[in-house]
């Protein structure tokens, strides 16, 4: 059904149950697994009175194309307000110092999932992504995120340039990262509310996105590797932002 979707893996399912157990319709568990992780999940399922079934691995493989389900698959009801608006976040938290992560053109679900995990650890208020030419919030993203996709709001926008202008009008300073920027990360003085823009690996930020940033910096590289995975780069930048603010 269009209003249902599958999530899989212990972290994703456990996080969803703790966040909103009523959204979980039913769970399928590999009948061959009797280890501690399954036992802990089963206890949580029973506490929250969620329907579950013992299934064969072949059936679970048929439900998840990648077969990387760890022996647990859940059917959850779509939560319409999972995709919140930026305006709602800013207006409902008036006076708060914000930290947003903008991902410009990330198409790999593993990268987006890892960014959710980093964003959760670094206290990010929302991840912002364009609607087109970018991966959405699918089952792979949720699994890689290990619960981060359930805790960090995901804002999908139709026009990223317009969104950046709105952030700037809302007194949020927009920083971009670029390998060619002469100013290094540690020379930036981070203050107030911040939106950090990360481009895709290889291509980086789009031209208009870069032009709209208030400032651009690079991450100093001390080894032979020329670039970093977007989630690793995001973590380094947000750690420095939080370090300065603290």
**Which CATH number is 82-245 given?**
3.40.1280.10
Instruction: Round to whole Å and give the CA distance between 110 and 46.
Output: 31
**Which CATH number is 4-78 given?**
3.30.1330.30
C-alpha distances out from residue 238 to 50, 66, 94, 214, 229, Å: 37, 31, 22, 17, 14
Task: Sketch the domain layout of the chain as residue ranges.
Answer: 4-78, 82-245
Query: So what's the pLDDT on residue 65?
Result: 83
Query: So what's the pLDDT on residue 243?
Result: 96
For residue 158 the two structure tokens come to 């139709």
Query: So what's the pLDDT on residue 205?
Result: 87
Query: So what's the pLDDT on residue 81?
Result: 43
Query: So what's the pLDDT on residue 196?
Result: 98
Q: CB under 8 Å, gap of 24 or more: what pairs does 119-124 form?
A: 119/148, 119/152, 119/234, 119/238, 120/145, 120/147, 120/148, 120/151, 120/152, 121/148, 121/235, 122/235, 122/238, 122/239, 122/241, 122/242, 123/99, 123/242, 124/99, 124/100, 124/152, 124/238
Query: So what's the pLDDT on residue 134?
Result: 85
246 residues of the chain, pLDDT tens digit each: 447 889 999 988 988 888 778 789 999 999 999 999 999 999 999 988 899 999 999 999 999 987 889 999 999 986 544 557 899 899 888 889 999 999 998 989 899 999 999 999 999 999 999 988 888 877 788 888 888 888 899 998 989 999 999 999 999 999 999 988 999 999 999 999 999 999 987 678 888 999 999 999 999 988 887 778 999 999 999 999 999 988
């Amino acid at each position: 059904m269009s209003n249902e979707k599958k999530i899989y893996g212990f972290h994703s399912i456990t996080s969803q149950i703790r966040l909103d157990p009523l959204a979980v319709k039913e769970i399928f568990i590999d009948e061959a697994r009797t280890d501690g992780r399954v036992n802990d999940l089963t206890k949580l399922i029973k506490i929250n009175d969620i329907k579950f079934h013992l299934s064969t691995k072949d059936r679970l493989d048929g439900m998840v194309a990648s077969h990387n389900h760890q022996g647990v698959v859940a059917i959850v009801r779509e939560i319409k307000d999972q995709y919140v608006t930026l305006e709602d976040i800013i207006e409902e938290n008036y006076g708060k110092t914000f930290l947003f992560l903008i991902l410009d053109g990330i198409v790999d679900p593993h990268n987006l999932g890892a960014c959710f995990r980093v964003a959760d650890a670094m206290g990010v208020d929302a991840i912002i992504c364009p609607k087109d030419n970018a991966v959405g919030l699918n089952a792979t993203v949720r699994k890689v995120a290990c619960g981060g996709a359930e805790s960090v709001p995901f804002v999908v926008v139709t026009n990223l340039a317009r969104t950046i202008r709105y952030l700037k009008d809302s007194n949020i300073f927009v920083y971009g990262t670029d390998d060619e920027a002469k100013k290094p990360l540690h020379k930036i003085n981070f203050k107030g509310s911040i939106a950090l823009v990360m481009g895709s690996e290889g291509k980086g930020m789009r031209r208009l996105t870069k032009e709209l940033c208030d400032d651009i910096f690079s991450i100093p590289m001390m080894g032979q590797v020329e670039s970093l995975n977007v989630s690793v780069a995001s973590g380094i930048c947000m750690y420095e932002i939080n370090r300065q603010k603290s």
